[in-house]
Structure 1
Amino acid sequence: MLLERGTRTARLLAALVLGHMRDKDAWPALLRMAGQADNTVALTALWALVRIDPRAAADYMVPLFIQREDWALSLAAGILQQAIAPATVALARILPDLEPARLPRALRIAEALHVTLPAGVLRTALLSEAMPVVIAGLRSVRTPETIAEVRALLAHADWQVRVQAARALGRVGGRADADRLLALLADREWWVRYRAAQALLELPALSRAELESLRASLTDRFAADMLSQAMAESGMT
C-alpha cells in the first residue's frame, strides 16, 4: 500500500487522494502516518483524516493541536476549519479540565476558528489569575454572556488586559458601554486609548452623529485626538 510503503512523495500523494475520496478503510494507516515525526507527513495525514470523518478527527486532533505548540495555529485552524462543529464540542469538553499551562493555546485555537465557547468556560478563563489565560479568554469573547467580567477587566492593572477588554467590549457591548470606553481614552497607555477608540466605533448602538457629539464633549485633548484618529482611520471624517 503506497500510504505505508511508498516513497515520501508517494505517501503524501496517497494521503491526499484517500482524503478526497473519504476512504474510511484508510483511517488506521492515516492515523499511524499522523504520528510520524515528519511534520509535513503528519499534517497531510491529519488533513485526510478530517476529510474522512470530521467528528472522529476533531476528537483526535483538538488535544493534539493543543499539545503541539511547535505547530502554527494557522495550520491547526486551517485543518480544523473542515470540522468546526465537532471541534467546538471537543474544545468545550476539554477546556474545563485542561492544565493551566495549556489553556492559552486552547483558547487561541478557539479564537482562530471563530467558535463561540460556553459562557461558563470563558467566565473561568476571565477570572483566572494567569494573565495569558485572561488575555486569551478576552480574545475569544464573542457573545455578551460574560460582559460583566469583561467590564470589570477594563480596570485591570495589566495594560494588555485592558487592551483586550476594550476590544471585547467593542464586539459585545452596547450603548451603556460608551462611557466606559470614553474613560479608557484617558488611559496612560497609548494602546489602551487606541483600542478603546476603535471599540467605540464598533459599538452597534452609536451613530456617527453620536460619536461626533461624544468627541466634541471630550475635555482631554489626548482623548479627543485619539478618537479623531480612529474616526479618520475608519473613514468617518
Structure 2
Amino acid sequence: MNRWILTHARLAFWLWTVPSLALLVWYAARNEGEGLMTAYALFALWEAAGFWGINGFLCGWARRPAFRAMDEYCDPEPLLELCRMVLKQNPKSLFYRVFEGYALALLGRRREAEDSAHMAAEQPRLWKNPPLLAVWLTQLPPEDPERERGELAMERLVRRLSPQKRAVLARAGTMRDRAAQIQEARPELEPLLLADLEQAGCTREQVAAHMALGIYYQRRGLENKAQEHLSFVVARGGRLAVRTEAERMLCRLSGKG
C-alpha cells in the first residue's frame, strides 16, 4: 500500500477528493445558509488533510530513508528512484528535479545530471531558493554558462539570509571550490582539507573529504598518505562514483610500488 501511494500520488489524492466533493454537491443541492458554509469549510479541511497527508507521507515514509541511504550508506540509488517516481507524476516538482540531478552526479552519470540541472533551471522558483540553488550548482561543470548565472543569483540571495544560514551556504560554496584548488595542490591547502574532514558529518561527507585529501597527497607525491585516504573511500564509498575513481588511483599507486 505504501508503494502504491508513492507511485500513484495524484490518483490517491483524487480518490480522497471525489467522494467528499460528491457529498458536498449532494448536500448543497438540498441545503443553504449556515449549514452550507459549514459543509464548505469541512470540505476545505478534508482537502487540506489529503494534500498535506500525502506530501507528509512522501517526506516521512519515502524521503527520509532515501536521504539516509545516500548520506550514511553512500547509496544515491533510492533517492534517484524516489525522485523519478515523483517526477513521473509531477514533472514540475523543483525539489525532486534538483535532487534527481544531485543523485545522478553522485553516481557519476554527469551527462544525465547536467540535463536534469538544465530542466530545473527552466523553473523561475529555482532562482529564488538558496538551498536548492546550492545543491543545483554542484551538478554543473565550471565551464557551463548557467553556473555563472547561478553563482551570481546565490550571491544576491545570501545577503537576505540569517548569519547561520549564510554560514551553511558559504561552507557549501567552499566545498564546491575545493576541486579547482586540489588540482593546484598548494601546501597551504592541507590544513583546510584536514579541517573539512574534521567538520564532515555524515559518511558521504567524510568520503568526499577523504577523497579530496587522497587526490591532494597523490599530487604532492605523498603516496603513503594518499593510499590511507583513498582506502577509506574504497571501504566506505558505497555506490558513489568517487569509490571507483579511488580504486583506480590505488591501483596506479600500487603499480608504482
Q: What's the TM-score once normalised by structure 2's chain length?
A: 0.35
Q: What's the TM-score once normalised by structure 1's chain length?
A: 0.37
| Larger RCO, structure (CA 8 Å, separation 6 or more) | 2
Q: Of the two, which has the highest radius of gyration?
A: 2
